């Protein structure tokens, strides 16, 4: 694939799309493509995570080894390891290729350098993270209300 094809592909990935075409060009130039055989493990739960993977072709079973969440199937356009693009973390799940697959690996160092060079992309990403965090907090508050659990602030 050409750089332009990779940029167009990244534009279809929700988290990456908001960064803008010029920032995506940097990622497309610096990212690395990797072929993964059917049944091959891309990463294990507990592995150090130093970047993310975008599924380009094929699909992966993503399963928590602790059983904390249901197995999901990640297909083309799925970003695996989104948090690892920004922070030092470990993989919360194992990803195994369901079929011959291709991923594009974006290292954390490349992603952070891109954000340094494109502060407008960093602002858009920050806004997205804030919005998703607020949605998650709202969901938690709704569950707490359904269960009749009061907020700490309500106890004062």
The pLDDT score that the predictor gives to residue 135 is: 79
Element at 130 (helix H, strand E): helix 119-147
16-37 pLDDT per residue, tens: 999 999 999 999 999 999 999 9
Cβ 114 vs Cβ 121: under 8 Å: yes
Distance CA 54, CA 12 (A): 11
Question: Which of 22-26, 48-52, 54-58, 130-134 comes out lowest in average pLDDT?
Answer: 130-134
- 96: CATH: 2.60.120.10
Q: How confident is the model at residue 128 (pLDDT cuts 50, 70, 90)?
A: confident
3-state secondary structure of 105: strand
pTM for this model (two decimals): 0.82
**Which residues span the domain enclosing 125?**
3-155
The rounded radius of gyration (Å) of the Cα atoms in the chain is 18
- For the cut 80, the answer to whether the pLDDT of residue 103 exceeds it is yes
Mean pLDDT to the nearest integer, 68-72: 72
What is the domain count for the chain? 1
Cβ 18 vs Cβ 82: under 8 Å: no
């Amino acid at each position: 694939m050409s750089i332009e094809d990779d940029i167009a592909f990244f534009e279809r990935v929700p988290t990456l799309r908001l960064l803008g075409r010029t920032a995506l060009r940097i990622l497309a130039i610096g990212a690395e493509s990797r072929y993964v055989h059917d049944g091959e493990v891309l990463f294990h739960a507990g592995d150090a995570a130093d970047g993310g993977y975008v599924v380009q072709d094929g699909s992966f079973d993503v399963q928590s080894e602790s059983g904390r969440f249901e197995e999901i199937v990640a297909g083309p356009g799925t970003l695996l390891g989104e948090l690892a693009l920004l922070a030092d973390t470990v993989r919360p799940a194992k990803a195994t290729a369901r079929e011959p697959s291709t991923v594009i690996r974006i290292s954390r160092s490349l992603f952070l350098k891109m954000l340094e060079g494109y502060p407008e992309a960093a602002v858009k990403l920050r806004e997205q993270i804030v919005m998703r965090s607020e949605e998650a907090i709202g969901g938690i508050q709704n569950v707490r209300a359904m269960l009749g659990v009061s907020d700490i602030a309500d106890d004062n």
